């Protein structure tokens, strides 16, 4: 009985894709990773920042006789005093007699200040 063998070029043609796939493994540097810091959306004063000040600050810092003369009831007043207010909030000196703001609320106010204290209301 005679043994038949497949031609060498047929074996190479059949095995080449396997060798190619094995040689194409990705190194860690080649892996595309998602951006860990996606761009933040713009902080909205009327729907995000103002409610924080209304709920935590306006009880004392109202238009009539506010502590240290600082009223925090509208955009003009909050914007004018934003950095000082943020520093007091960040140091947990404010709000006096009330619960401290959360880290997320503090970060939101800081981002709003860093973005230029925009009045965007949408």
* Distances from the Cα of 74 to the Cα of 57, 68, 71, 79, angstroms: 11, 17, 8, 8
Q: Is the pTM here over 0.85, yes or no?
A: no
Two tokens, residue 117: 């204290």
pLDDT of residue 30: 52
In this prediction, residue 9 carries a pLDDT of: 59
Query: Distances in Å between the alpha carbon of 50 and those of 15, 29, 30, 55, 80?
Result: 68, 45, 45, 9, 13
For 3-37, write each residue's pLDDT tens digit: 655 565 556 656 555 555 555 554 445 555 554 55
Tell the burial category of 75 from Cβ atoms under 10 Å away from its Cβ (0-12, 13-18, 19+): middle
Question: Mind listing the pLDDT tens digit for each residue in 43-55?
Answer: 999 999 999 999 9
């Amino acid at each position: 009985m005679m043994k038949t063998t497949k031609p060498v070029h047929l074996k190479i043609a059949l095995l080449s894709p396997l060798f190619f796939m094995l040689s194409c493994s990705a190194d860690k540097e080649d892996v595309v990773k998602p951006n860990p810091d996606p761009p933040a959306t713009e902080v909205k004063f009327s729907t995000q920042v103002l409610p924080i000040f209304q709920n935590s600050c306006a009880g004392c810092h109202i238009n009539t006789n506010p502590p240290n003369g600082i009223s925090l009831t509208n955009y003009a007043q909050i914007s004018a005093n934003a950095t000082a207010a943020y520093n007091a909030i960040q140091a947990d000196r404010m709000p006096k007699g009330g619960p401290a703001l959360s880290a997320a609320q503090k970060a939101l106010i800081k981002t709003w200040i860093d973005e230029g204290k925009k009045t965007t209301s949408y």
